[in-house]
Structure 1
Amino acid sequence: MTYRPILASLCAASLLALSAQPALAQDAEKEAPAETIEPQVKSRDLSGTFGGQRISYTATIGETVLTSDKGEPEAVIVTTSYVKDPKDTSRPVFFIYNGGPGSGSVWLQMGAFGPKRVAIPSDARDDGAPPYPLVDNPDSLLDVADLVFIDPPGTGFSYLTDEADPEDYYGLRQDARAVAEVIRRWINDNGRWGSPKYLGGESYGTTRTAMVVDELEGATYNDVGLNGLILISTILDFAAREPTPGNEMAYIVTLPNMAAAAYYHGKVQAPSVEAIAEEARQFAIGPFATALLKGQDLPDAERAAVRAELSRLTGLSERYLDQANLRVTSQRFYKELLRDRGLTIGRLDARYTGEDYDDAGETPDSDPSFYGIDAGYTAAINQWARETLGFETDRGYNSIGSEPGRNWDWSLPGQGRNAYLNVAPFIGRAMRQNSQLRVFNAQGWYDFATPFFGAEYSLKRMGIPQDRVTYEYYDAGHMMYIRDEDRAKLSADIRAFIRNR
C-alpha cells in the first residue's frame, strides 16, 4: 500500500483520461477513482499563558486523506495543531498521539499538553456527572514547541472509507506507515523540514513511536530526522507482560507495582514509594526471579523465605501466596489487596478504588480508574473540536474505539504478540544511527497497564545508549497528568528535555 496526495492522484487520472483512445473510454470510466473527499480544515486564532509566557497561536483541526495505489480515498486522518508562528521554522514541533490501539489523542490533548484541559478531580475520585469545565492549561508545552495531535486510523474523528481494507491500516506496521505519512505531509505542507522534531505518545502510543521512528528514520527515501522520542507509560516488550503459564517475567516486572500499590493503600510500611519500589526491584530480579526459575526444584526453606518477603512487600497473606504458587496475576491482585475492605483497585491507576457487585471472586467487575474519568474527557474533546474550533461531522469521537483493537495485526517478521513481540530494538537502532536522538521515559508508580519496571527492563537492554535516555517517575498511574501536581511535573520535565537538545 502506498499513499499519494489526492491532488496528484486527480491530476494523474485526468491525464490518463485525456490520452485514452475513444474505444477505451468506457473502461477508463470504470477504473476511475471513487468520489474524492474534500478535506475539512478549520482554524482559529487564540491566545493563552503557557509556561509563564503569554502566547498567541493558531489552532487548526484538519483532515488528511490517504489514498490507495489507484487513487481511491481510503483513510481520513484528523490532526489538531497548535502553532505559535507559522513563519518561525526554528521552533520545535512535537507530534503526539495516544495508544489503545484504538485510542484517540483526547487524553494527552485535553488532559496534559493542549492549551485547554478538562477539570476533573485530581485525587483519584471519579469525574461524576456534567458539566466538566474546560479550563486554561498553563502546563501546555506551547511555550517550547508547536503541537500536532494525531488521531490514527479508526480513532477520534478519523475513519476508513468503504473502499479501504481494514487490514491495510489496523496493525503494527500498517498503522505506523499511515501515521508517518501524515507526519511527512504536515511537515511538507507547513514548511517545517528544518525544525527540530519530537515524536511521542502514551501507552500503545509508545509502541507506535518505536514503529513510526523506524518508518521515519529507517526509510531509504524521504527520511525524517528526529531530535527526541517522548514515551509516556511505556510498553515495548509485550512478552514480559503476558502471564501465560511458564512466562515468569510477567510476575517479575509487576511485583514492584504491587509493592507501590500496597504502600499507597497502607498495606505495607516504607519511608516512601520510591523506597518500597526499589526494595521490590531488587527482590524481583534477585531471590524472587531465582525462586520462580527453579520451579518445582525450589527447596521448602527457600520457598518459605521468598513467600515471607513477598508477603511483606505486597501486603498479601502468606497463605494466599502459597495457594498461588508465589505467582499472583495483576487481575487477582486488584481484587485481593483490599478484599477485607470490600474494595478493588484500579488497573490504569491503583490509587482508584471501586465496589464490585460482591466481595467474592478472583477479579474485579471493571476498572474504577477508567470509568472514573472517561465521561469528562469525551465531553471535553467534543465541546472543544465542535463548538470552539468549528469542526463539522456527524461521526462520534472514538476516545477508545473497539474496531482497531479487535482487528489489530500484531505480527512482525520473526515475531508475534503471543510469541515474543518486542519493539524496543527499533528505538535502539534509531539511536545508534542518529547520534543526537534522545529518549524521555515517564512512568507512574501506580500503573499496572504498563508497569514501570517493565519499561525499565525494555529500555535498559543491550543496544540502547543509556546516556541519552531520561527516566522520570510520578505519584499517579497510567495517566499521571490527571493528578495536578504530576501534570505540572510532567510538563516541566518534558519542557526541560526539549530545551536541552
Structure 2
Amino acid sequence: MRHLLLLILLLPMALRAAEPPADAEATPDPASAKAKFDEANADAVAAAWARPPLDEAKSVTRHSVNVNGRKLDYTATAGTLTIRDNHAKPTASVFYVAYTLDGAAPGKRPVTFLFNGGPGSSSIWLHMGSFGPMRVQTSMPATVRPGPPAFGANRDTLLDKTDLVFIDAIGTGYSRPVGEAKGADFWGVDQDIDAFARAITRYVTKTQRWNSPKFLLGESYGTLRASGLAYQLGERGMALNGVVLLSTILNYGVEQSGYDTFFITLLPTYVATAWYHNRMADRPATVDEAVAQARAFAMGPYAAALAKGALITPAERDAVANKMAALTGISADYIKRANLRVDLFRYEKELLRDQRTTVGRLDTRYTGVDVDAAGEFPEYDAAGTAITGAYTAAFGDYISRDLGYRSELAYLTSADGPDGDKDFDWDWEHKAPGAPYPQTTPNVGPDLSAAMRTNPYLKVLALNGYYDLATPFFATEYDVAHLLLEPAQAANVSFRYYPSGHMIYLNPDSLHQLHTDLAAFYDDATSGL
C-alpha cells in the first residue's frame, strides 16, 4: 500500500519532466515550411514569370540591301499580333517579322505570308535561309560548320517582288497562348488553320493591306496549312492571288506507309537518288531523264504489279523486281523479300550499305555513318542535322542586334522537341469542304480544289526537289492530279523542279533559280492589276 501511494505521488512529477520546456522549439514540418515559403515568394515568382504581351508589341528598324545592282530600302517590323475568338476574347500572341519595301504603294504592292510546317515548327528555316533580305550562307550538300555562321545580304530576296511576313505557329518562336487558352487549343489541323487565318486577317487589318495582292508561301506541312488557308480565307472574305507550295504534302491518306500509292510515289525519288550516287544501271546523262523513266515505270508496270497483290505471278514479280533493281540500285533479291514494297527508311539504309553509309531523308544526297552498319534503319537523318545550329545562332543574334526585338521568352524552334512543350500532341482530324465527317488522315486537296473553283484567278505554284524523300515530288504530282480540276482551273497550277532536297533554298544555285521562277509567278498572278 505504501508503495502504491508513493507511485501516485511520483507519477505527475515524471510526466512533467517528460514535457519539453515551454521555450523549446517544436520539430519543423517540411510541408508547412514549403507552403509558407511559396506563399511568401508567390508575388516575386509571378512578377518574374515571362509572359507574351497582350498588347501588341513591335520593334521597327530600317535597312537596305542590294539586289542585282538595285538598292532596296526597306522597313523591318518584328512584333506580335493578338488574335481573338469570335467573342473578341484574346487567345494568343502570334510573333511575326515583316519586311516592307519603302516608298511602295501598299494598295498595289503584293504581300506574302510565309511559314514552315512540322507540324510544330517555327518559321526560322524559311526566315533565315530563303527569301528574306538576310540569310545564312550555305552550300549543298554540306554540313554548316559551327559558329559564327556566315550571315549576310541575300541577293535572291523576294523583296523586289513582294513584301514578306514570316509567321511563327503558336507554341513556337515567341508565339504563345494567352489568358485561359492552352497550346492544345491550337495544335491540330483545323485549329492551326483557324489561328493562322485570324493572324493574317489581323495583320492585313492592322497595316491596312486589304487591297494589296495577297500570297501564301508554305513549306512542308506548311503546304497543307496553306491549302487549307486558301479555302478558309476565301470563306472569310479574303481572296488570294497566289499560293506557293514548297516541298508539298496535301494528302496524308495517300502518303501512309502500307498503302500501295505510298510506294508508287516514292519510287521516282529512289531513282533520282540512285542516279545521283551512281547506282542506277544504264545511267542516263541527266537526272531529268532518269526521273522520266521512273514516272513511266511507276504509273505503268509497277502500279499494275502492286495492284495484283498476292495474285501476281512469280514471273511478273521477277520482271518487276529486276526493273526496279536497275532503276533504284537495290538488289532484286532484297526487293522481292520486301514484296516489291521498299520502305523509305529501308532504302536509306540499303542503297549504300556496302560502303557502310546511309542516305538522308530530307536530302538523299547527304550521307551518314551509323554505329550499326548491319541495322535495318538509319540511326539519324544525315540531312536533318546539317544546319540547325547555324540557323539558331544566326537568328538569336539577328533578332536582337539588328531588328531590336527582345523578349524574356525563349525562342522555340519547335513545339515538338527538347526545347518545346512536353505535352505537344497534334490533332490530325480535318473536315474538308463538303465532307460529311472529319478524317483522321487529313487531305486538304478538296480545300485547295474548292478555293480554286470559287476563285478562278487563284494561281498555284508547286516547287519540288528531286532528292526529297520527306515530301516526294511524284506525290505532289499525284495529289494535284487528284484535285479533279476542270481544264481552265488546272491551267492555274504549275510545277518547277530542282536538283535539291526538302529545303531547296539551301543550295545557292537552286535559290537563284527559285527567285527567277517566283518572280515570273508573281508577275503572272498580278498581271492586269
- Does residue 112 (structure 1) correspond to residue 130 (structure 2)? The answer is yes
Question: Aligned match of 2:214 in 193, 197, 202?
Answer: 197
Separation (CA, whole Å) in 2 of partners of 1:87 and 1:248: 51
Alpha-carbon displacement from aligned partner over 1:34-77 (angstroms, at most 9, x marks no partner)? 99723220010100123542110000001111235666543110
If you compute each CA radius of gyration, which structure gives the higher value, 1 or 2? 2
Question: Alpha carbons of 1:424 and 1:462: their partners in 2 closer, same or farther (altered >3 Å)?
Answer: closer
- Where 2:491 maps in the other structure, the secondary structure is helix
Structure 2 counterpart SS, 1:64? strand
The 5 A counterparts of 1:141-152 are 141-152=158-169
Q: Which residue of 1 aligns with 2:171?
A: 154
2:93 is matched with: 76
Indicate yes or no: 2:492 matched with 1:468.
yes
Which residue of 254, 263, 269 corresponds with 1:251?
A: 263
Deviation (angstroms), 1:155: 1.6
> SS where residue 240 of structure 1 aligns?
coil
Any idea what SS the aligned residue of 2:202 has? helix
Paired residue secondary structure (1:241): coil
Return the letter of the residue paired with 1:409. D
Following superposition of structure 1 onto structure 2, how do residues 270-285 of structure 1 map, counting pairs within 5 Å?
270-285=284-299
String of CA shifts for 1:347-372, please: whole Å, max 9, x gaps: 10001111111201110011010101
Deviations 1:400-442 (A, max 9, x none): 3205894211102334344xx2111111111111111100100
Matches within 5 A, 1:51-62: 51-62=68-79
User: 1:397 is matched with which residue?
Assistant: 411
Distance across 2 between alignment mates of 1:183 and 1:364: 39
- Where in structure 2 are the equivalents of 1:257-336 lying within 5 Å? 257-268=269-280, 269-336=283-350
Are the equivalent residues in 2 in contact too, given 1:72–1:163 (CA < 8 A)? Answer: no
For residues 289 and 152 of structure 2, what CA distance do their matches in structure 1 show? 36
Aligned to 1:454: 475
Mapped partners of 1:278, 1:354: distance in 2: 28
Q: Which stretch shows the higher mean deviation, 158-167 or 37-46? A: 158-167
> 2:462 touches 2:496 (CA, 8 Å); kept in 1?
yes
Displacement of 1:299 in angstroms is 0.9
Letter in 1 for 2:76: A
Of 445, 450, 474, 2:466 maps to 445
Amino acid at match of 1:411: E
- Secondary structure, aligned partner of 2:144: coil
Judge conservation of contact 2:52–2:93 (CA < 8 Å) in 1: no
Counterpart of 2:227 in 1: which secondary structure? helix
Q: Is the 8 Å Cα contact of residues 50 and 142 (structure 1) preserved in structure 2?
A: no
- 1:416 aligned to which of 439, 442, 452: 439
Matched, 1:429 2:446: no
Q: Which residue of 1 aligns with 2:501?
A: 477
Q: Would the alpha carbon gap of residues 415 and 267 (structure 1) be closer, same or farther in structure 2, given more than 3 Å must change? A: farther
Is the deviation greater in 156-165 or in 178-187? 156-165
C-alpha distance in 1 between matches for 2:509 and 2:150: 19
Equivalent AA in structure 2 for residue 391 of structure 1: Y
Q: How does 1:32-71 map to 2 (within 5 A)?
A: 37-68=54-85
Whether contact under 8 Å (1:126, 1:372) holds in the other structure is: yes
Residues 78-227 of structure 1: pairs in structure 2 closer than 5 A: 78-85=95-102, 88-89=105-106, 90-120=108-138, 122-161=139-178, 163-219=180-236, 223-227=237-241
Asked if the contact 1:79–1:151 (Cα under 8 Å) also holds between the matched residues in 2, the reply is yes
SS state at 1:351 partner: coil
Pair 1:86–1:194, CA change in 2 (3 A): farther
Paired residues of 2:253 and 2:443 also in contact (CA < 8 A): yes
Letter in 1 for 2:484: G
What is the aligned-residue RMSD (CA, Å)?
1.8
Deviations along 1:428-479, whole A, 9 cap, x unmatched? 1111111111001000000000000000000112433221111000001000
2: CA distance, partners of 1:207 / 1:119: 28
In structure 1, C-alpha distance between the alignment counterparts of 2:86 and 2:208, rounded to whole Å: 26
Post-superposition offset of 1:211? 1.2
Q: CA deviation at 1:491?
A: 1.1
**Match of 2:443, as an amino acid?**
N
Q: Displacement of 1:153 after TM fit?
A: 0.8
* Amino acid paired to 2:84: T
3-state SS, counterpart of residue 395 of structure 2? helix
What does residue 22 of structure 1 align with? none
Residues 299 and 415 (structure 1), Cα distance of their counterparts in 2 relative to 1, 3 Å cut: farther
Contact 2:317 2:336 in 1 (8 A): no
Cα distance change, pair 35–342 in 1 and its aligned pair in 2 (3 A): closer
Alpha-carbon spacing, 1:416–1:484, altered in 2? closer, same or farther (3 Å)? same
Show the counterpart of 1:23. Answer: none
Partner of 1:373: 387
Q: Distance in 2 between matches of 1:462 and 1:130?
A: 45
> Among 368, 371, 374, which residue is 1:354 paired with?
368
Tell me by how many angstroms 1:396 deviates: 2.4
> 1:345 aligned to 2:359?
yes
Structure 1 CA distance for aligned equivalents of residues 87 and 210 of structure 2: 28
Normalising by structure 2, we get a TM-score of 0.84
Paired residues, what number?
Answer: 460
Q: 1:411/1:478 Cα in 2 relative to 1: closer, same or farther (>3 Å)?
A: same
**Secondary structure, counterpart of 1:155 in structure 2:** coil
Structure 1: runs of 5 or more not aligned: 1-33
2:26 aligns with none
2:67 & 2:438 partners in 1: Cα distance? 43
State the match for 1:27 in structure 2: none
* SS of structure 2 residue aligned to 1:43: strand
Is the deviation greater in 49-58 or in 141-150? Answer: 49-58
